[in-house]
Protein backbone atom coordinates (compact mmCIF):
# COMPACT_ATOMS: atom_id res chain seq x y z
CA UNK A 1 0.00 0.00 0.00
CA UNK A 2 1.09 3.62 -0.55
CA UNK A 3 1.06 4.27 3.20
CA UNK A 4 3.67 1.56 3.75
CA UNK A 5 5.89 3.16 1.07
CA UNK A 6 5.65 6.51 2.84
CA UNK A 7 6.73 4.96 6.12
CA UNK A 8 9.91 3.59 4.46
CA UNK A 9 11.10 7.14 3.74
CA UNK A 10 9.95 8.68 6.99
CA UNK A 11 10.81 6.46 9.94
CA UNK A 12 9.54 9.17 12.27
CA UNK A 13 6.01 8.93 10.85
CA UNK A 14 3.61 9.37 13.75
CA UNK A 15 1.34 7.56 14.20
CA UNK A 16 2.82 4.51 12.40
CA UNK A 17 1.61 3.42 8.96
CA UNK A 18 -0.76 0.82 10.41
CA UNK A 19 -2.85 3.63 11.89
CA UNK A 20 -3.67 5.31 8.55
CA UNK A 21 -6.42 4.57 6.04
CA UNK A 22 -7.45 5.90 2.64
CA UNK A 23 -10.66 7.92 2.28
CA UNK A 24 -12.21 8.58 -1.11
CA UNK A 25 -12.82 12.23 -1.96
CA UNK A 26 -16.51 13.27 -1.80
CA UNK A 27 -17.59 9.81 -0.58
CA UNK A 28 -17.71 8.14 2.84
CA UNK A 29 -15.69 5.18 1.54
CA UNK A 30 -12.65 4.04 3.53
CA UNK A 31 -10.11 1.63 2.07
CA UNK A 32 -8.46 -0.57 4.66
CA UNK A 33 -6.54 -3.85 4.56
CA UNK A 34 -3.73 -5.56 2.69
CA UNK A 35 -5.60 -6.07 -0.58
CA UNK A 36 -4.55 -4.50 -3.87
CA UNK A 37 -6.12 -1.13 -4.69
CA UNK A 38 -7.71 -2.61 -7.83
CA UNK A 39 -9.66 -5.01 -5.60
CA UNK A 40 -11.65 -2.28 -3.87
CA UNK A 41 -15.14 -1.49 -5.09
CA UNK A 42 -14.60 2.31 -5.12
CA UNK A 43 -11.49 1.96 -7.32
CA UNK A 44 -13.19 -0.41 -9.76
CA UNK A 45 -16.28 1.76 -10.08
CA UNK A 46 -14.10 4.84 -10.74
CA UNK A 47 -12.14 3.05 -13.45
CA UNK A 48 -15.34 1.73 -15.00
CA UNK A 49 -16.69 5.28 -15.28
CA UNK A 50 -13.32 6.64 -16.51
CA UNK A 51 -13.12 8.87 -13.42
CA UNK A 52 -10.01 9.87 -11.48
CA UNK A 53 -9.28 7.90 -8.31
CA UNK A 54 -8.98 10.57 -5.63
CA UNK A 55 -7.94 9.45 -2.14
CA UNK A 56 -7.07 11.23 1.10
CA UNK A 57 -4.79 9.73 3.74
CA UNK A 58 -6.44 10.03 7.16
CA UNK A 59 -5.70 8.50 10.54
CA UNK A 60 -7.87 5.75 11.91
CA UNK A 61 -8.60 8.04 14.84
CA UNK A 62 -10.20 10.56 12.45
CA UNK A 63 -12.13 7.81 10.71
CA UNK A 64 -13.33 6.34 14.01
CA UNK A 65 -14.60 9.78 15.00
CA UNK A 66 -17.02 9.55 12.04
CA UNK A 67 -18.33 6.20 13.22
CA UNK A 68 -16.69 4.18 10.46
CA UNK A 69 -17.00 0.40 10.49
CA UNK A 70 -14.14 -1.31 8.68
CA UNK A 71 -15.58 -4.08 6.59
CA UNK A 72 -12.76 -4.52 4.04
CA UNK A 73 -14.95 -3.65 1.05
CA UNK A 74 -13.05 -5.81 -1.40
CA UNK A 75 -14.55 -7.62 -4.38
CA UNK A 76 -13.47 -11.15 -3.48
CA UNK A 77 -16.47 -12.61 -5.28
CA UNK A 78 -14.92 -11.61 -8.62
CA UNK A 79 -12.54 -14.55 -8.19
CA UNK A 80 -14.64 -17.08 -6.30
CA UNK A 81 -18.32 -16.04 -5.96
CA UNK A 82 -20.18 -17.51 -3.01
CA UNK A 83 -22.67 -20.20 -3.92
CA UNK A 84 -25.81 -20.70 -1.88
CA UNK A 85 -26.41 -24.31 -0.84
CA UNK A 86 -29.80 -25.98 -1.09
CA UNK A 87 -29.90 -26.52 2.67
CA UNK A 88 -29.12 -22.82 3.24
CA UNK A 89 -32.03 -21.77 1.04
CA UNK A 90 -34.58 -24.44 1.99
CA UNK A 91 -33.91 -24.34 5.73
CA UNK A 92 -37.24 -24.64 7.58
CA UNK A 93 -38.61 -22.03 9.97
CA UNK A 94 -35.84 -20.12 11.72
CA UNK A 95 -35.08 -16.86 13.47
CA UNK A 96 -34.35 -13.84 11.29
CA UNK A 97 -30.77 -13.51 12.59
CA UNK A 98 -30.13 -17.06 11.31
CA UNK A 99 -31.03 -16.17 7.73
CA UNK A 100 -28.19 -15.71 5.23
CA UNK A 101 -30.45 -15.24 2.17
CA UNK A 102 -34.08 -15.03 1.09
CA UNK A 103 -35.35 -17.82 -1.22
CA UNK A 104 -36.60 -16.52 -4.56
CA UNK A 105 -39.86 -18.42 -4.09
CA UNK A 106 -40.77 -16.15 -1.14
CA UNK A 107 -41.18 -13.12 -3.44
CA UNK A 108 -44.60 -13.10 -5.15
CA UNK A 109 -44.42 -9.37 -5.87
CA UNK A 110 -44.23 -8.20 -9.48
CA UNK A 111 -40.67 -7.78 -10.80
CA UNK A 112 -39.66 -4.24 -11.70
CA UNK A 113 -36.55 -2.24 -12.56
CA UNK A 114 -35.93 1.50 -12.40
CA UNK A 115 -34.42 3.24 -15.43
CA UNK A 116 -32.35 5.86 -13.62
CA UNK A 117 -30.63 7.56 -16.54
CA UNK A 118 -27.61 7.61 -18.82
CA UNK A 119 -24.27 9.36 -19.15
CA UNK A 120 -21.80 10.02 -21.96
CA UNK A 121 -24.28 9.73 -24.83
CA UNK A 122 -22.17 9.85 -28.00
CA UNK A 123 -24.21 12.32 -30.04
CA UNK A 124 -21.34 12.85 -32.49
CA UNK A 125 -21.20 9.18 -33.46
CA UNK A 126 -20.93 8.99 -37.26
CA UNK A 127 -23.56 6.27 -37.73
CA UNK A 128 -26.01 8.04 -35.42
CA UNK A 129 -25.54 11.38 -37.23
CA UNK A 130 -26.17 9.75 -40.63
CA UNK A 131 -29.38 8.12 -39.41
CA UNK A 132 -30.57 11.37 -37.86
CA UNK A 133 -30.06 13.18 -41.15
CA UNK A 134 -32.04 10.54 -43.08
CA UNK A 135 -35.01 10.94 -40.73
CA UNK A 136 -34.59 14.70 -40.48
CA UNK A 137 -33.98 14.58 -36.71
CA UNK A 138 -31.99 17.06 -34.67
CA UNK A 139 -30.82 17.09 -31.07
CA UNK A 140 -33.23 19.93 -30.32
CA UNK A 141 -36.36 18.40 -31.84
CA UNK A 142 -35.86 14.71 -30.99
CA UNK A 143 -36.55 12.89 -27.73
CA UNK A 144 -35.05 9.88 -25.96
CA UNK A 145 -36.81 6.90 -24.42
CA UNK A 146 -35.86 3.44 -23.17
CA UNK A 147 -37.52 0.09 -23.81
CA UNK A 148 -36.99 -3.08 -21.78
CA UNK A 149 -38.27 -6.65 -21.97
CA UNK A 150 -37.41 -9.89 -20.15
CA UNK A 151 -36.54 -12.98 -22.19
CA UNK A 152 -35.76 -16.61 -21.50
CA UNK A 153 -34.53 -18.99 -24.17
CA UNK A 154 -35.07 -16.33 -26.83
CA UNK A 155 -38.76 -15.89 -25.96
CA UNK A 156 -40.37 -12.97 -24.16
CA UNK A 157 -41.79 -13.83 -20.75
CA UNK A 158 -42.97 -10.30 -19.93
CA UNK A 159 -45.02 -9.00 -22.85
CA UNK A 160 -45.71 -6.34 -23.79
CA UNK A 161 -42.41 -4.45 -24.00
CA UNK A 162 -42.13 -1.75 -21.32
CA UNK A 163 -40.91 1.76 -22.10
CA UNK A 164 -40.22 5.05 -20.37
CA UNK A 165 -41.65 8.46 -21.14
CA UNK A 166 -39.94 10.75 -23.62
CA UNK A 167 -37.08 12.89 -22.36
CA UNK A 168 -35.09 15.69 -24.07
CA UNK A 169 -31.89 14.65 -25.83
CA UNK A 170 -28.75 15.31 -23.82
CA UNK A 171 -25.32 13.89 -23.15
CA UNK A 172 -26.58 13.07 -19.64
CA UNK A 173 -30.28 12.28 -19.38
CA UNK A 174 -32.33 11.15 -16.37
CA UNK A 175 -35.52 9.09 -16.61
CA UNK A 176 -36.07 8.07 -12.96
CA UNK A 177 -38.88 5.72 -13.94
CA UNK A 178 -39.85 2.28 -12.65
CA UNK A 179 -40.85 -0.31 -15.25
CA UNK A 180 -43.14 -3.11 -14.02
CA UNK A 181 -42.80 -6.29 -16.09
CA UNK A 182 -45.96 -7.97 -14.82
CA UNK A 183 -44.24 -11.23 -13.85
CA UNK A 184 -43.92 -12.41 -10.26
CA UNK A 185 -40.33 -12.32 -9.02
CA UNK A 186 -40.66 -15.91 -7.81
CA UNK A 187 -41.49 -17.01 -11.38
CA UNK A 188 -38.31 -15.61 -12.95
CA UNK A 189 -36.17 -18.34 -14.56
CA UNK A 190 -32.56 -18.45 -13.45
CA UNK A 191 -31.37 -17.70 -16.99
CA UNK A 192 -33.73 -14.72 -17.49
CA UNK A 193 -32.20 -11.68 -19.17
CA UNK A 194 -33.44 -8.13 -19.60
CA UNK A 195 -32.93 -6.55 -23.01
CA UNK A 196 -32.62 -2.76 -22.81
CA UNK A 197 -32.59 -0.37 -25.78
CA UNK A 198 -32.12 3.41 -25.86
CA UNK A 199 -34.08 5.06 -28.68
CA UNK A 200 -34.16 8.50 -30.27
CA UNK A 201 -37.49 9.52 -31.77
CA UNK A 202 -39.23 12.48 -33.30
CA UNK A 203 -41.42 14.32 -30.84
CA UNK A 204 -44.65 13.23 -32.50
CA UNK A 205 -48.10 12.32 -31.25
CA UNK A 206 -48.72 8.85 -29.86
CA UNK A 207 -50.91 8.00 -32.85
CA UNK A 208 -47.81 8.02 -35.07
CA UNK A 209 -46.20 5.36 -32.80
CA UNK A 210 -42.78 6.91 -33.29
CA UNK A 211 -42.29 5.79 -36.87
CA UNK A 212 -39.27 8.05 -37.00
CA UNK A 213 -37.09 6.44 -34.39
CA UNK A 214 -33.47 5.29 -34.19
CA UNK A 215 -31.88 2.66 -31.92
CA UNK A 216 -29.05 4.55 -30.21
CA UNK A 217 -27.57 1.89 -27.90
CA UNK A 218 -28.41 -1.40 -26.22
CA UNK A 219 -27.33 -3.81 -23.50
CA UNK A 220 -28.50 -7.21 -22.25
CA UNK A 221 -28.45 -7.85 -18.50
CA UNK A 222 -28.52 -11.26 -16.84
CA UNK A 223 -30.89 -10.85 -13.89
CA UNK A 224 -29.23 -13.57 -11.82
CA UNK A 225 -25.55 -13.15 -10.97
CA UNK A 226 -22.84 -15.81 -11.00
CA UNK A 227 -23.34 -16.53 -7.31
CA UNK A 228 -26.99 -17.47 -7.90
CA UNK A 229 -28.44 -14.29 -6.40
CA UNK A 230 -30.78 -11.72 -7.96
CA UNK A 231 -29.27 -8.35 -8.88
CA UNK A 232 -29.92 -5.59 -6.35
CA UNK A 233 -29.27 -1.85 -6.08
CA UNK A 234 -28.01 0.68 -8.64
CA UNK A 235 -25.66 -0.73 -11.27
CA UNK A 236 -23.99 0.76 -14.35
CA UNK A 237 -23.75 -0.90 -17.76
CA UNK A 238 -21.75 0.21 -20.81
CA UNK A 239 -24.00 0.00 -23.86
CA UNK A 240 -23.31 -1.23 -27.38
CA UNK A 241 -23.97 1.43 -30.07
CA UNK A 242 -26.37 1.87 -33.00
CA UNK A 243 -28.53 -1.27 -32.68
CA UNK A 244 -31.52 -2.46 -30.69
CA UNK A 245 -31.23 -5.24 -28.09
CA UNK A 246 -31.36 -8.82 -29.35
CA UNK A 247 -32.73 -11.53 -27.06
CA UNK A 248 -29.97 -13.94 -28.12
CA UNK A 249 -27.19 -11.34 -28.12
CA UNK A 250 -24.35 -11.13 -25.64
CA UNK A 251 -24.96 -10.37 -21.97
CA UNK A 252 -21.50 -8.83 -21.67
CA UNK A 253 -21.47 -5.04 -21.54
CA UNK A 254 -19.39 -2.99 -23.96
CA UNK A 255 -15.96 -3.08 -22.33
CA UNK A 256 -14.15 -2.55 -25.64
CA UNK A 257 -14.87 1.17 -25.90
CA UNK A 258 -13.81 3.97 -23.56
CA UNK A 259 -16.53 6.19 -25.02
CA UNK A 260 -19.50 3.90 -24.46
CA UNK A 261 -22.81 5.27 -23.23
CA UNK A 262 -23.41 4.39 -19.55
CA UNK A 263 -26.89 3.19 -18.56
CA UNK A 264 -27.81 3.35 -14.85
CA UNK A 265 -30.36 0.76 -13.70
CA UNK A 266 -31.76 0.29 -10.21
CA UNK A 267 -32.86 -3.17 -9.12
CA UNK A 268 -35.06 -3.54 -6.06
CA UNK A 269 -33.04 -3.90 -2.89
CA UNK A 270 -33.66 -6.30 -0.01
CA UNK A 271 -32.15 -6.85 3.43
CA UNK A 272 -30.45 -10.07 2.27
CA UNK A 273 -29.40 -11.66 -1.03
CA UNK A 274 -32.26 -13.19 -3.03
CA UNK A 275 -31.04 -16.72 -3.77
CA UNK A 276 -32.02 -19.27 -6.39
CA UNK A 277 -31.82 -22.94 -5.33
CA UNK A 278 -29.16 -25.12 -6.99
CA UNK A 279 -30.36 -27.32 -9.84
CA UNK A 280 -30.11 -30.55 -7.86
CA UNK A 281 -31.19 -31.42 -4.33
CA UNK A 282 -28.31 -33.07 -2.39
CA UNK A 283 -28.81 -36.69 -1.30
CA UNK A 284 -28.15 -35.88 2.35
CA UNK A 285 -31.02 -33.36 2.29
CA UNK A 286 -33.38 -35.88 0.68
CA UNK A 287 -32.46 -38.55 3.24
CA UNK A 288 -33.01 -36.12 6.09
CA UNK A 289 -36.46 -35.13 4.79
CA UNK A 290 -37.97 -38.49 3.88
CA UNK A 291 -41.25 -37.30 5.34
CA UNK A 292 -42.08 -36.15 1.83
CA UNK A 293 -42.66 -39.80 0.95
CA UNK A 294 -45.38 -39.98 3.59
CA UNK A 295 -47.63 -37.45 1.83
CA UNK A 296 -51.12 -38.86 1.19
CA UNK A 297 -52.03 -39.82 -2.39
CA UNK A 298 -54.12 -37.33 -4.40
CA UNK A 299 -57.87 -37.40 -4.07
CA UNK A 300 -60.03 -38.52 -7.01
CA UNK A 301 -60.71 -34.90 -7.91
CA UNK A 302 -57.00 -34.02 -7.75
CA UNK A 303 -56.06 -37.08 -9.82
CA UNK A 304 -58.66 -36.19 -12.46
CA UNK A 305 -57.34 -32.62 -12.59
CA UNK A 306 -53.76 -33.89 -13.05
CA UNK A 307 -54.81 -36.21 -15.86
CA UNK A 308 -56.58 -33.31 -17.58
CA UNK A 309 -53.47 -31.09 -17.31
CA UNK A 310 -51.23 -33.87 -18.67
CA UNK A 311 -53.60 -34.51 -21.56
CA UNK A 312 -53.41 -30.85 -22.60
CA UNK A 313 -49.67 -31.15 -23.23
CA UNK A 314 -47.25 -28.21 -23.29
CA UNK A 315 -48.75 -24.86 -24.32
CA UNK A 316 -47.84 -23.80 -27.84
CA UNK A 317 -46.33 -20.33 -28.25
State whether 6 and 141 are in the same domain: no
> For residue 46, what pLDDT is reported?
77
State whether 63 and 152 are in the same domain: no
The model's pLDDT over 165-196, given as tens digits with 9 standing for 90+, comes to 999 999 999 999 999 999 999 999 999 999 99
Is residue 305 in some structural domain? Answer: no
- Phi, then psi, of 104 in degrees rounded to 5: -60, -30
State whether 65 and 116 are in the same domain: no
State whether 136 and 256 are in the same domain: yes
Residue 226 has pLDDT above 90, yes or no: no
DSSP character for 74?
B
Are 230 and 192 within 8 A, CB to CB? no
What's the pLDDT band for 47 if we cut at 50, 70, 90?
Answer: confident
- Choosing from 77, 93, 122, the residue where a domain stops is 77
| Number of domains making up the chain | 2
- Choosing from 26, 42, 77, the residue where a domain stops is 77
Structural element, H or E, at residue 305:
helix 300-312
The model's pLDDT over 126-135, given as tens digits with 9 standing for 90+, comes to 999 999 998 8
Residue 311 has pLDDT above 60, yes or no: yes
State whether 149 and 232 are in the same domain: yes
pTM for this predicted structure? 0.65
State whether 192 and 121 are in the same domain: yes
Is residue 91 in some structural domain? Answer: no
Q: Which CATH number belongs to the domain containing residue 181 in this structure? A: 2.60.40.150
State whether 43 and 130 are in the same domain: no
Round the average pLDDT of the chain to a whole number and report it: 79
Tell me the average pLDDT across 237-261.
Answer: 91
> For residue 200, what pLDDT is reported?
94
State whether 112 and 239 are in the same domain: yes
Is residue 314 in some structural domain? Answer: no
DSSP character for 312?
H
Query: What is d(CA 113, CA 126) in angstroms, rounded to the nearest whole number?
Result: 31
Residue 111 has pLDDT above 50, yes or no: yes
Is residue 313 in some structural domain? Answer: no
**What percent of the chain shows pLDDT beyond 90?**
39
Residue ranges making up the domain that contains 63: 2-77
- Choosing from 77, 112, 130, the residue where a domain stops is 77
> For residue 278, what pLDDT is reported?
72
Amino acid sequence: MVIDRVSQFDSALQPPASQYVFKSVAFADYLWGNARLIDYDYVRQSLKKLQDIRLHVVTREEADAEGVTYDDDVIEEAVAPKKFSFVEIALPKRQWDEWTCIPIWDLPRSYRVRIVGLEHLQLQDTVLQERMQKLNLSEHSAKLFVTAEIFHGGRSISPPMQRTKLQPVGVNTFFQEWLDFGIATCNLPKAARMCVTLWMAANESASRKWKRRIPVAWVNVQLVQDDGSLRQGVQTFKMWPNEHANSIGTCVENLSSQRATHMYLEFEKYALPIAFPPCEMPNEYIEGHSAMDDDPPPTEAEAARLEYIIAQGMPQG
